[in-house]
Amino acid sequence: MSDDIVFRLRDEGLAAQSLDEEIVVLDLRSSTYLLLNATGAILWPPLQTGATMPALARVLVDEFAIDDADALRDATTFVTELQRLGLLDA
C-alpha cells in the first residue's frame, strides 16, 4: 500500500459504540456486527477523519510501544480487513 493513500471509513451506514477497550460496529448496509479489539479500537478514530498507513502505524507505536515494522503490519492487516468488509470509502 502506498504511504500517501488516505484511508477513511464510509460516511454512511456505520454505527459504532465504545465498550471499555473495544468498539462494536454495526454495518447497517449488510446488517452485520464487528467487534474491534484494542488495536482496532485505537485505529478507528483516525480512520473516521482519514489517515495514511504511516500515520496509523505511528498511532500503534505510540499506544502500544511496539516496533515500527510490527505496527505497520498490524495497521495494514486491519485496513485490509476493513476494505474486504466494504467499510472504507473507495
Task: Write down the mean pLDDT value for the chain.
Answer: 95
Digit-coded pLDDT (tens) for 43-53:
999 999 999 99
Rounded to two decimals, what is the model's pTM?
0.92
| pLDDT for 1 | 67
Q: 6-84 has which fold?
A: Arc Repressor Mutant, subunit A (1.10.10)
How confident is residue 90, by pLDDT bands cut at 50, 70 and 90?
low
The pLDDT of residue 22 is above 90: yes
Domain range annotation of the chain = 6-84
Q: What is the 3-state secondary structure (H, E, C) of the chain?
A: CCCCCEECECCCCEEEEEECCEEEEEECCCCEEEEECHHHHHHHHHHHHCEEHHHHHHHHHHHHCCCHHHHHHHHHHHHHHHHHCCCECC
Sorted by sequence, the CB contacts under 8 Å of residue 22 that are 6+ apart come out as 35, 36, 37, 38, 40, 41
